[in-house]
Amino acid sequence: MNPTEIKNLLAALGGAPNKRLGQHFLIDGATLETIAEAGEIQEGETVLEIGPGLGVLTNELLDRGANVIAIEKDRRYAAYHEGRKLKNLKIVQGDAIQIDWMKLVGKKPWKLIANLPYAITSYALRLGLWAKHPPECIVVLVQKEVAERAIARDGKQSLLSLMVALVSSEARILRKVPPGCFYPPPRVDSAVLYFKPLDPKARKAQWGIDPERVMELAKKGFSKPRKLLRSNLGISEADSQVWEGLQINPKARAEDLSPMQWASLTKTLKTA
């Protein structure tokens, strides 16, 4: 779908893109191909899409044989897709963050593939990656800065990158996407992110502790990122010397710890 087609369809639907909802429609075929190929869609597979908009990605998923469940907050676009009456497309109108995804996908295998609204990226990744019945893969188009933070591209951990690392066997950027690949163009660069989630048993087996416990401690550790970690956790300098056995510098900040160090520290404090 090119800009002219998008403008015509928007006019027919009675309005321009909703800036509050962060609506930017993908018009670049190469990026669309990257997303669809990474999803490795098989005939009859269930794909959950967040924010289908005018259906650019939706159509590609359907063409590849997916059964698409699309959550759309904008009533105009939800009604438009309902009117299309496509056999393998189910439209759910509402806020994706407030909807129970597990009720939609059931117990069968599923995948999360979407051009995510930037404002809900972290929430959506949390819901997908940390689901009790996680998707087989997640392929999402997000803001580039968020993508780089999610995989700790600069070598420093964030609460987001730790959240990702604790429940993923694979997390990588597939493609950088400039503003010109969208209509209307956003003010920032974007990127296609790929994740391979771990199921709950595999998560606990890998880290030797429930990752939820690690995140509880990490939220305290990252509460004031520029402070020393021991200060955020309320641990004295003398007591923090025991961290040396975990190869953690007593003067470390939260961002300096690797996911394994976070897991080890959580287990150590739990048994102390």
Q: Which domains does the chain have, with CATH numbers?
A: 3-198 (3.40.50.150), 205-271 (1.10.8.100)
Quick: pLDDT tens for 178-226: 999 999 999 999 999 999 999 999 999 999 999 999 999 999 999 999 9
Residue 259 has pLDDT above 90, yes or no: yes
Q: Can you give the pLDDT at residue 198?
A: 97
Query: Closest Cα partner for 135 from 174, 160, 107?
Result: 107
Q: In sequence order, which residues have a C-beta less than 8 Å from that of residue 83 and are 6 or more positions away? A: none
This model's pTM is above 0.85: yes
